[in-house]
Amino acid sequence: MPQGTYVVTKMSASRPIDCLLNYEDPYVQPLIVEAFQRRLPASSFKLIKSPEEHRVGPMIQFGAYEALDFEKAVEMPNILINAYVIRKALIRKHYLSTTVSHWIAKHPESELKDHVKPSVEFELDYAEFLDDALVEAWELQEAFQKNAEKDPKDREWWILKPGMSDRGQGIKIFSTEQELQEIFEAWEAERPDSDDEDDDDDGQQDGEKENADARGDQASKNEHDSADGVDGVDSSSIKVTEEKKEYIITSQLRHFVAQPYIHPPLTFEDRKFHIRTYVLAVGALRVYVYKPMLALFAATPYGAPWEKKTDSDGQPDLRAHLTNTCLQDSDQREGSVRAFWDLPDTLDASNTAAHAELAGLSGGWKEHVFSQICTVTGELFEAAARGMMIHFQPLPQAFELFGVDYMVDAQGTAWLLEINAFPDFRQTGDDLKGIVEGLFAETVDVAVKPFFQLEGAKPEGTDTLKQVLDIDLGRR
């Protein structure tokens, strides 16, 4: 094992580890405390309630991003924290797009080219400037030209994702430039007339965006905005009226990503789903994929984008395309979150293409998908660590849990959707809480024990927390 992947701390066996566990989430907090109590010897640690209680000796901070003392952790080699300071290269959609494209350019044989849809990035303040924004969006312009004379069913469809948004805000599906123009114009038409209020908010918005950029999905606990699974934005970009109506303000979101839409997807009971995978990154750098995964389903049966239209604006009915549960009414959430490994071993009759591609695979279609997820996840973190060193800086004295989302198409190919920092574990629900409980317990064995040289350390991973990357970035 590379010696640079974790810090070797020299600590007195008689001094317990001060554990400041304050995740600020009532769903997660008791699970973290229980994991430490179950997996660490009682004499090896002491729970503390504030940083002031720690004077000297080993310490772990496991809490919200804003509460972590990064400066102290960097200065003192016996302090472990549960987040990296900088990981934009992974958790921001437009940065992630750059991470992948740069890596593929340098490594043409990369697996990423077959598991990440190419992205077109552009910046836009107001709908009237869309033409200018798309000047260098060659792929989009080419698609628009080809689609112009085609029937909707024969077009290449695209999905629009704001670079920083949450709760499914701003996710749209389109196939022509006119449709894209109408999306932005509709947002501006819905916007309340309150120029003075907007001006007053400008400074606050900028500051809040910077904070959201740092803390990832913690910006909103309802992080899962996947249409091809999108999440993690600054909710300050959304104006909410007394009637709770939410407005997209283009000038505040600004960064947008467009990708070819994944169609047709693999479905069960005619509903589209995406896979939420929990990933643990440790030090600089080991990466693990947690085998117990979630399958999150759309609210209504799937239909091609040109088949299902809404009554109001002619847009595709996003309830059939968005797989984030926060967009669903309470009566629609029943059965929307399932354990991935509990999905049927036999594919639906509607998945004829998948039947042909996956028939006879050793271990079945789920093992095939999991294998792809492991391969892609490992290479993606390496791409960020080696190719985007300014925007992803793993620290030897840190670890972090990410929520990584994948969509499986009808041929059985797993496509990366996005990576989320501080994922919303609450979407797992009470019935599947054991999945999250197990994740934190395994994290103690794989990330915490090796750092503090405790008995039972498992830096090589476990049966349920599979190591997919182990590289030495030379950071001590």
User: In this structure, are 182 and 234 located in the same domain?
Assistant: yes
In a domain, 145, yes or no: yes
Q: Which pLDDT tens digit goes with each residue over 252-309?
A: 567 899 999 999 999 999 999 999 999 999 999 999 999 999 999 999 999 999 987 7
Furthest-apart CA atoms within the chain: distance in Å: 76
CB 305 within 8 A of CB 261: yes
With H, G, I as helix, E, B as strand and everything else as coil, classify residue 419: strand
Strand partners, 295: 275, 338
Please tell me whether residues 191 and 330 are part of one structural domain. Answer: yes
Q: Which of 309, 335, 361 is the last residue of a domain?
A: 335
- The verdict on residue 76 lying in a domain is no
Q: Is residue 162 part of a domain?
A: yes
pLDDT band at 218 (very low <50, low <70, confident <90, very high): very low
pLDDT tens by residue, 409-453: 999 999 999 999 999 999 899 999 999 999 999 999 999 999 999
Instruction: Please check whether residue 53 lies inside any domain of the structure.
Output: no
Asked if residue 97 and residue 136 are part of one domain, the reply reads no
Does residue 235 sit within a domain?
yes
8 domain residue, yes or no? no
CATH of residue 294's domain is 3.30.470.20
Strands 246-248 and 79-81: unpaired
In this structure, the answer to whether residues 150 and 245 fall within a common structural domain is: yes
Mapped onto helix, strand or coil, the DSSP state of residue 98 is: helix
Residues 313 and 369 in one domain: no
Q: Has residue 154 been placed in a domain?
A: yes
Q: What is the pLDDT of residues 348-388, one digit of tens each?
A: 666 656 656 666 666 789 999 999 999 999 999 999 999 99
For the cut 80, the answer to whether the pLDDT of residue 227 exceeds it is no
Q: Which amino acid is at 44?
A: S
Domain assignment of residue 193, given as a range:
119-261+301-335
Residues 416 and 326 in one domain: no
Q: Are residues 326 and 407 in the same domain?
A: no
Number of domains in the chain: 2
What mean pLDDT is predicted for residues 100-116?
98
Q: Are residues 313 and 168 in the same domain?
A: yes
Residue 228 shares a structural domain with residue 256: yes
Produce one character per residue of 38-49: b if its CB has 16 or more CB atoms within 10 Å, e if not: ebbeeebbeebe
Q: What is the dihedral of CA 91, 288, 281, 406, to 10 degrees?
A: 10
Output the six-digit token pair for 369: 């998908």
Residue 314: per-residue pLDDT: 66
Asked if residue 323 and residue 182 are part of one domain, the reply reads yes
Of 311, 335, 359, the last residue of a domain is 335
Residue 411 lies in a domain: yes
251 & 378 share domain: no
Domain final residue, candidates 316, 335, 354:
335
Assess whether 132 and 240 both reside in one domain.
yes
